[in-house]
Amino acid sequence: MNFSSILVKWYDLNKRDLPWRKTKDPYKIWLSEIILQQTRVDQGLSYYNKFVAYYPKIFDLANANEDEVLKLWQGLGYYSRARNLHFTAKFICDNYNGVFPKTHKEILLLKGIGLYTASAIACFAFNLQYAVVDGNVIRVLSRIYGIYSFYDSSIGKKDFLKLAAQKLPTKNYNTHNQAIMEFGALVCKPKKPKCSDCVFNENCYAFNNSMIHVLPRKINKIKVVSRYLHFLIILHLDNVFLIKKKKGIWSGLYEFPLIEHSQMLDNNDVMLSEEWVSFFSNNKVSVNRVSHLIIHKLSHQKLHVKFWHLRCDFLKLKDYNSIKITKLNEYPVSRLMDIYLSDNNIC
């Protein structure tokens, strides 16, 4: 079986029309690869177009402030990607005069760029012969060739990288790499793969041995932690209080003052808690309403959330920003907060 030629022939007939496939600009290819980490193409495409429109050149991204970048990224999640993107743009402008480094080794040293992303940029932008190995590639290779190695183990990573390199043709490796990723995204999908339409089904180990839903294998399962959060939307005259987080899951984003407990307390217990007293001291605070319980799921966390709508006209909070409510939509916030603000017509 000539794996690559079959794959490329399928790709020529079925590939999606995506803008980053029409350029050799390493900046735009890098941008697309960072956006598409942990993000589906149908969601990431609009963000890619926005970033290219706002920051057409790497100098434009480097000269932006972090709040602007995070606001544009808002809703994509995994915000460390945006912070690393911004940092690396500034680094390339400061150390390479805005010219993206051209070797795999140099690219790999950049912050926020791992082996897959470095290989993708090196291949797609500079036509260097590197196999790209992402989740789509692992799934295709594991199923077709019957690879049982745990792909998240050190041995498994080496096995898949070695096999991907073996299957890489001596020419047109750019197209081959695009094709295998596209095939994993459109046909050899994680759930409900299109095996009946697959050009490899006669030679696919997993299909012929009823192992489609077993392969590929992962050794480490994500442990999901529950957290119980009360966000305080405190009106103060015509302003509302926000704080910029210094660390945590939404580092660099703005959020309302927060009370967190090890379990979800009822409303009376929240108002009797030490945290509540610490916030408001002897100041008179009125509770306008409390939202219903909201469940917000992240990759590693399950958040149990309530939003409190309060008023306290004489409150002073150290290290908190007091801003006009009408300006709220100018600040980068989490997807959770963005949805709540929009659904409740706040700002």
CA–CA separation, 278 and 275 (whole Å): 5
In 3-state terms the chain splits into helix, strand, coil percentages (rounded to 5) of 45, 15, 40
CA–CA separation, 318 and 324 (whole Å): 17
> Pick from 27, 157, 32, 74: which is nearest to 328 by CA?
74
Element (H or E) spanning 120, and its range? helix 115-126
Q: Which two tokens stand for residue 109?
A: 């040293």
CA–CA separation, 217 and 3 (whole Å): 22
Q: Which two tokens stand for residue 245?
A: 């987080």
> Pick from 93, 114, 112: which is nearest to 104 by CA?
114
> Pick from 168, 316, 302: which is nearest to 239 by CA?
316
Q: Determine contact, residues 67/332, Cβ cutoff 8 Å.
A: yes
Rg (CA), the chain: 24
Q: What's the number of CA atoms in the CB half-sphere (13 Å) around residue 83?
A: 12
Residue 102, phi then psi, degrees to nearest 5: -105, -10
Place of tokens 């911004």: 86
CA–CA separation, 231 and 248 (whole Å): 15
33 tagged catalytic: yes
Task: Give the residues across from 226 on adjacent strands.
Answer: 302
CA–CA separation, 34 and 281 (whole Å): 45
CA–CA separation, 214 and 148 (whole Å): 9
CA–CA separation, 264 and 246 (whole Å): 24
191 by DSSP, 3-state: which?
Answer: coil
Task: Please identify every residue annotated as catalytic.
Answer: 33
